Amino acid sequence: QTETGMSSMAMTSVAPTLPSEEKAALAHNGAMLYPMFVVALRTVLGMSTIEPHEVLRAAGSAVEFPPDARAIFVSHEWCGRMHPDPHLRQFHTLQRALVGAIAGRWR
């Protein structure tokens, strides 16, 4: 399955209806040319710094999205010119929100 939850076969059957830029991301066998990398929730909750993608990959923390996994996509606004969250305010808020969701405080 892909990050959308669709099987590679399903993605191939939908590909003809996709905009051209999305078609370009599909290989001829339905595999993504640009795979999504993810960091495990346990790892995110234990992080005390934000590392670049390359560092997370080298450490084995960022891995290619497993076909049987679920993902939460998080986007944020950069708070500094040289670092996305120089004081980790947004990141700590994210961590607290994730802990709250796990504890069932969100519905």
pLDDT digits (tens, 9 = 90+) for 8-30: 444 445 455 555 555 555 554 66
Please give the pLDDT value at position 11: 47
Whole-number pLDDT of residue 66: 87
Interacting residues of 43 by C-beta distance below 8 A, sequence separation 6+: 61
CA distances from 90 to 6, 59, 74, 94 (A): 31, 23, 11, 6
CA atoms within 13 A on the CB side of 14: 14
CA distance 20 to 58: 33
Q: What is the pTM of this model?
A: 0.66
How many other β-carbons are positioned within 10 Å of the β-carbon of residue 40? 12
| Per-residue pLDDT tens over the stretch 48-83 | 999 999 999 999 999 999 888 899 989 888 998 998
Query: Left if phi > 0, otherwise alpha if psi is -120 to 50, otherwise beta: which for 93?
Result: alpha
CA–CA distances in Å: residue 83 to residues 77, 97, 100: 11, 22, 26
Place of tokens 């959308």: 4
